[in-house]
Amino acid sequence: KPTLQSLRKLQEAYEKAGNNFRAAETMELIAELYPASVNFNSIGVLYDNAGDRNKAIEFYELALQQSPNNQHAVFNLGTSLKQKNPKLAGELLSKAYDLDPSDCPIMREYAKNLESKGNKEEADQLRQKAFDKYMNKWKANTLRDFEYSWFSNLADYLGKSSMAKDIGSS
């Protein structure tokens, strides 16, 4: 039986190599062998990044069974279901926002949900609030890696094209 430490190193090596699918499979093995040491939401994110939306959804749902108010799993499942089940996706994004209204990715996606329901003014206010938070994090050099593209896209959406380019080149 491989040790937890050796499996974690293998998973990290796959991630560094950009092989999210193999990293997710390795985390699945960790979940089977060492169930108390795994985060199902993280497995879902890896499968999502690898392009396997169905496996991602499966693990987001497992994460929610484990912790029904995990705002990250609620958010990730909501964004993953936008094409497959828009109504449920909207409910999940609304729940994610209720759980953490200060999270920029949640604000950004919830704004899309609001706009799809005809609440453009409220959606624009929420986008601006997310933009301002991202801007503060960018100035403080505390943006997480994945946030650069989200911030850049949001800046572009808000008509700040030159700012989007600056963010994207950071």
105, 61, 42, 54: CA torsion to nearest 10: -90
The pLDDT value recorded for residue 165 is 85
Residues ≥6 apart with Cβ < 8 Å to 97? 106, 107, 110
Q: Are 56 and 76 in contact (CB under 8 A)?
A: yes
The pLDDT value recorded for residue 170 is 66
Q: Which two tokens stand for residue 109?
A: 């996606």
Question: Considering Cα of 137, then 139, then 140, then 145, what sign does the dihedral take?
Answer: positive
* pLDDT tens series, the chain, 170 aa: 999 999 999 999 999 999 999 999 999 999 999 998 889 999 999 999 999 999 999 999 999 999 999 999 999 999 999 989 999 999 999 999 999 999 999 999 999 989 988 999 999 999 999 999 999 999 999 998 888 888 999 999 899 988 888 887 76
Q: From residue 156, how far is each of 141, 153, 164, 170 by CA, in Å?
A: 20, 5, 5, 15
The pLDDT value recorded for residue 5 is 96
Residues ≥6 apart with Cβ < 8 Å to 71? 96, 99, 100, 103, 106
